[in-house]
Amino acid sequence: MKILIVDDNIHNIEMAAVTVELAGHEPVSVYSGYDALDIMAQDNVRLLLVDWMMPEMDGIELIKRIRAQFSDRYIYIIMLTAKESQDDIVTGLEVGADDYVVKPFLPRELRARIGIGVRIIEMESRLSDHLEHMENLATRDHLTKLYNRRRFLELAEKSFEDHSPFSLFMLDVDHFKQINDRFGHPAGDKVLVQVADLVNDQLQDMGIIGRYGGEEFIGILPDRASDEATTLVETLCKSIEETPIKLAVENIQITASIGIVTCNGNNKNDCTVHDLIHRADEALYRAKNNGRNRVEIAD
């Protein structure tokens, strides 16, 4: 782990760096608080040893700025200082230091304090990964990894309030039941995953994509007027047709039908996301009835 040492005294830095190396970590040394902030902005440093008494910006001010500027990640800060009164220790901890070591320090003690910091950082990382995993379970479709219906609707509602024009499409894989019946459900799953990947690759940067259920997918294209949004989904429809699915026994060609609707600023107050879904669904079924492998625009 990289450990950032911030001290204006080269002798102190050398002693701390040797201790960090003996603890099995990589020391990175700077001589001012401003240099420390530059390093923090460029690298994901998670543990710091900070001296209190420094010119231009002391350790207290540096810790305040770190807590204000890098609140997006957990950072463990050990303050190294000759100040040892109770008031000083409390002041350091209150502004955001996690631990406090009085100089001159014993290398063995500092290694132990660093070990505590590393364990806490690793614990926080495991907790963060677990929370992310739990959020994915709650918001993502287990097969395609797209947003599930509930999370998609939440995001769509918020996006609808913030953007105009606002286009929404629904996509259905054609003859999907026949694929399952002929090749089996694992093949059907492969089809869904590939379609999801195609939709995600082509449209994710422009909007929000979700799996609506079964072989149906749904997406929004904020700030896309009808002509532009229709061109995008027509390109997607063609890509699905031109991308064969590689199965163990043979390659199969699939197609998809798409219904799309756009709500403009002048009629936005007269519709909701659920209204748009209903209209896009009606357009989707027109695409099915008109021969499939096509895009239909809602009235």
**Catalytic residue IDs:** 215
- The phi and psi torsions of 199 (rounded to 5 degrees) equal -60, -45
Cβ density class 237-251: b for 16+ within 10 Å, e for less: beebeeeebeeeeee
Task: Indicate the pairing of strand 251-252 with strand 256-263.
Answer: unpaired
Contact 221, 161 (CB under 8 A): no
- The phi and psi torsions of 37 (rounded to 5 degrees) equal -65, -35
Query: How far from 101 is each of 16, 35, 260, CA to CA, in Å?
Result: 12, 22, 63
Look up residue 194 and give its amino acid. Answer: Q
